[in-house]
Structure 1
Amino acid sequence: MLFGKNKSLVCFAPNDRAVARLFCFPCAGAGASMYWRWARLMPGVEVWAVNYPGREMLHGQTFASSVEVLLEPVLMQRELFSEKPFVVYGHSFGAVAAFSCALQLQEAGIRAQAVVSSARRAPHLPAAHAISGLPDDRLLVELDRFGGLPAAIRQDPEMLALYLPVIRADLSLNEIIRIPDSSRIDSPLYVFAGTDDCSVSSTELAAWESRTRSSFEFIVMAGGHFFIHEPVEAFIAYLRNIVAISLQEPDEDVMAF
C-alpha cells in the first residue's frame, strides 16, 4: 500500500510497470477502501483511490465544505496525475468530485485520457430532492432505498452514530455543488447508469453529454444505485476497455503484469 503526501490518495497495489493510472472517487459516506479490490482486477493499471476528509485514515479531520476544499489535498499532488496517462472515475457523489478534479487539472494543462461517471445527475443540474437534513429515521429510509448501507453499520448503533455525520456531510455537499454551465472537459466522457436506480433520472444522466467537447457514451447496466458491484467484475471489464481505448492499447496490456 502506498499513500500520497497527505493520505488523501491511496494506492492499494503500487505498480511501476502499469501502463496508466485510474483515480477513483468514492460515493457519499465512503472512503478509499471502497476501491481496494479493483487493483487485482486491473493489474496493468495502477489504481489510486481518493480519501475524503473525516473518514478512514483521515478520521478526525473536518468535513469538506465545498468541492474546492474537498479537492485541495488531492490537487496538491499533481505529479501523480502527470507521471502517466490517467483516467478519473467517480460513483454518485464521487462523479461530481471526479469531474471537478478533471476540470481543475485541465486548467493546469494536465488532461485526463477519459472521465467516467456513474449514478449521478449531470454536474450543472440542481438536486431534485434534498435529503441531508432529514431526521435520522427518515434519512435511513432514503438510504435503504439506494441499498448502499451495509448491514454491519445498519444494525450497530455505535457504528451508525459514527457513520451518519459522514454521509450527511457528503450528501449536503452533493446537493449544493453546481458546476458552471460553461465548464467543459476536453476528454472523452463515459456515463454509466443502473436500470433500477431510483436516485437519478435518465434525463439527468443524459445531460452529461453537454459537459464535454470530446466524445460521449452513455451505458446502462442491470442493477440499482450500486450496480457497479453487481458484480464488480462486469463493471471493471468496461473500465478496462475504456482505459485501453483511451491509450490505444490492446486490452491485454491493461490486464498484464
Structure 2
Amino acid sequence: MTTPPSAPVFFERRTGSPWLRRFHPGPPSGPAPTLVFLPHAGGSAAYYHPFSATLAPCAEVLVAQYPGRQERIGEPVPGNIAAMADGLLEALMPWREGPLVLFGHSMGALLGYEVTRRLEHAGTPPHGLIVSGRRSPLIERSEGVHPRDDDALIALVSELAGTDARLLADPDFRELILPALRGDYRAVETHRHVPGPVLRTPVSVLTGESDPRVGVPEAMAWREVTAGAFTFRGFPGGHFYLNEQRDAVSRAIAEDLAAFTALAGRSAPTG
C-alpha cells in the first residue's frame, strides 16, 4: 500500500455546519457580503483555499464541503442535486438574511442555481449568483459519464486537468475519490430542470473559452434564467481555466461582489 502525496493542512474556523468551511477571517471592520464557493464534481473545499485567502479582505468566505470527501469521507455521497441543494440551504440559514453571494463551478454552478431558486422561494434571495464552467440549466444533454468504469472516469478527470496528476496516479487516492466523483456525476446527469419562475437574482457567468464541455453560446444561455442583471466574461483556458487564471478570476469575483452590493443598494426600499 503506497502513501498518497500529502495534502496541505488548513486552519479552519467553525461555521456550525459540516456543509461549510471557513479558512480565513473576514474583513476586520464594516459590513461585508458572504461569499460561498460550491465545488465541482468530485471536488472538495480545499480547492478554494487560495481563493479564500485572496478574497477574505472583501468578503466573509465560506466553502461548501459535500458529503463523502475529506473529513466527511464516512458519509454517503448524495448522488442527487436536489438533496445537496436542500442540505446547503439548511446550512446557509444563519447567512440567509444578510448579503449572500454564491459562486459555483461546473456541478457547483448547477447547485448554486438550485439553491438560489430555493432562497428566492423562501423570500431571502441572494445578492448575486456567479456561475462558472457550466452550460445553462435549460440546456440538457446526456454525457454518460457516471456509468463508465473506474479507469475511464479517472481518464476524464485527468483530461479536464481538475486534479493533480500525481494524485490520480496513486491507487489509494483513486480509491478515496472515485465514490464521490461517480456520485457527483450521477447527480448532475440524472438531474432534470423543473420549470418555474425565472430568477430575479443578478447572474454573472465566467467560462473558459476553450472548455471542451461548455461552448460559449451554452454559457451565454444563462441569460435566459434571470430577469435580473447579467454579465459574461470569457477567460483563456479549458474547463479548469481557474487553475491558470486564479488572479484574474479573483478580480472578476471582487468586481461582481461590488456590483451586486451596488445593485442591492439601489433596489433597497427607502424610508
TM-score greater than 0.5 by the shorter chain: yes
Contact 2:210–2:237 (CA under 8 A) maintained in structure 1: yes
* SS of corresponding position for 1:37: helix
Unpaired runs of 5+ residues, structure 2, are 1-11, 264-271
Amino acid of the structure 1 residue aligned with 2:51: W
Q: Establish whether residue 20 from structure 1 lines up as the match of residue 33 from structure 2.
A: yes
Amino acid at match of 2:18: K
Cα RMSD for the two superposed structures: 1.7
Task: For 2:138 and 2:14, locate their aligned partners in 1 and report how far apart those are by CA, in whole Å.
Answer: 32
> What's the secondary structure of 2:91's corresponding residue?
coil
Identity across aligned pairs (percent)?
26
Code of the residue aligned with 2:68 in structure 1: it is G
Q: What amino acid is aligned across from residue 223 of structure 1 in structure 2?
A: G
* Correspondence for 1:149: 163
Comparing 91-100 with 204-213, greater Cα deviation is found at 204-213
71-80 or 218-227, which moves further after superposition?
71-80
CA distance in structure 1 between the partners assigned to 2:225 and 2:73 by the alignment: 33
Which residue identity does 1:229 align to in structure 2?
N
Equivalent residue for 1:255? Answer: none
Kindly report structure 1 stretches of 4+ aligned residues shifted beyond 6 Å: none
Query: What's the offset of the Cα at 1:204?
Result: 2.0
1:147-200 CA-to-partner distances (Å, cap 9, x unmatched) read 113123211111111111211110111112222233421111111111111011
TM-score, normalised via structure 1 length: 0.90
Q: Verify the 8 A CA contact 1:197 1:223 in the aligned structure 2.
A: yes
- Output the CA distance in 2 between the equivalents of 1:205 and 1:39: 25
- Structure 2 residue 49 is matched with structure 1 residue 11: no
Say if 2:255 is the partner of 1:244: no
Q: How far off its partner does 1:21 sit?
A: 0.8
TM-score, reference length from structure 2: 0.86
C-alpha displacement of 1:83: 4.6
> In 1, Cα distance between the equivalents of 2:137 and 2:152?
26
Question: Are residues 28 and 224 of structure 1, via their aligned partners in 2, closer, same or farther at CA, if it must alter by over 3 Å?
Answer: same
Partner residue in 1 for 2:231: 217
C-alpha displacement of 1:79: 3.4
User: In structure 2, how many angstroms separate the alpha carbons of the residues matched to 1:49 and 1:74?
Assistant: 11
Letter of the structure 2 residue corresponding to residue 31 of structure 1: S
- SS at 2:233 equivalent: strand
Gaps of 5+ in 1: 250-257
Superposition deviation, residue 25 in structure 1: 0.2
Retained in 2: the 8 A contact 1:124–1:178? no
Q: Which residue of 2 aligns with 1:33?
A: 46
Partner of 1:252: none
The answer on whether the counterparts of 1:123 and 1:177 sit within 8 Å (CA) in structure 2 is no
Cα distance in structure 2, aligned partners of 1:183 and 1:160: 41
Matching residue's letter, 1:19:
A
Residue 138 (str. 1) matches residue 152 (str. 2): yes
Count of residues in correspondence between the two structures:
249
The CA deviation string for residues 30-49 of structure 1, in whole angstroms up to 9 with x for no partner, is 11112112222111211100
